[in-house]
Amino acid sequence: MAFDTQTIMDGIRYYKMNGAGNEIVMLDLRDQSVVVTPEAARAIAARSASFFDQLMVLLPPKTAGTAAFVEIWNNDGSRSGACGNGTRCIAAMELDRLGTDTVSFETEAGLLPTSRAGTGISVDMGVPKFGWADIPLSQPMPDTNAIELDYEGHGVRLSNPAVANMGNPHAVFWVDDPQIYDLSLIGPELEQHPLFPEKANISLAQIISPEAIRLRVWERGAGETRACGSAACAVAVSAARSGRTGRDVRIHLPGGALRLVWRDDDHVVMTGPWELEHAGSLPVTLFDASDHIEDVA
């Protein structure tokens, strides 16, 4: 399928993709006058053909050497600081368009260098943050590898999650079997727990071996998704930090597997698949042509 970001007769072109099952829509607005608002994001997600977990909006670069500044929207109209699976998708498209092997993007969370890796794409997701104020938490916690949080409801009990920030706040609960939990019930309550002033992505992680982890994720602003790249990063570093695994692991999610390497320079590199499903167009009336909104929800 040819890569074409031009406005077409009946609207703005979009690309529907997935990264290990994480549903992604890309809009390239680098040469467009329209902007995305929370209302537009929700309206795009409400259309069955363009439903997304995350919407990746390419805007003119702010930093020299980057291909674009990327806004990331959740399907509820809130903003996200990072999306590793979405970054792989837009990287694959941009690498093909440019005919190169490396390209960098910028998000609210910082720079994201990407590169080809066989049939997949690698993304340098940056350095994890473990300080309680960096997550952020609403109160000091001396040990962010096992914070004081006990949850009991809907017939289950979860306690002492690890927390980390990988562009987004994450809480990781270690469980024997992620499949036995109803994330549709416990996910929203934990996402909005008072300890997380900016809400949090909630992970249920099972250690399979020192090199493998099984994972389900409830994403803030999106609900349960088939994959979440930043959550996979948070789980990988939390597992290695607590001695549960090494620093090179494979994360098995409902949508597929991702390889996570926590390098000696502290950067986390994620490698995995991507897929272009179809291209389509969105009515220009969905968008706002007013001044661009910079605040992150």
Please identify every residue annotated as catalytic: 83, 228
Give the residue from 225, 297, 234, 170 showing the smallest Cα distance to 20.
225
Tokens linked to 130: 């473990």
CA geometry: angle 76, 201, 114, nearest 5 deg: 90
Instruction: Give the containing element (helix H, strand E) for 262.
Output: strand 256-262
The span from the CA of 187 to the CA of 19, in Å, is 22
How many CA atoms within 13 Å lie on the side-chain side of 146?
8
The span from the CA of 188 to the CA of 220, in Å, is 8
b (16+ CB within 10 A) / e for 241-272 = beebbeeebbbbbbbbebbbbbeeeeebbbbb
Q: How many CB atoms lie within 10 A of CB 34?
A: 20
**Three-class SS state of 225:** strand
Q: How many CB atoms lie within 10 A of CB 275?
A: 14
The span from the CA of 297 to the CA of 138, in Å, is 17
- Sign for the CA dihedral angle at 1, 103, 20, 283 comes to negative
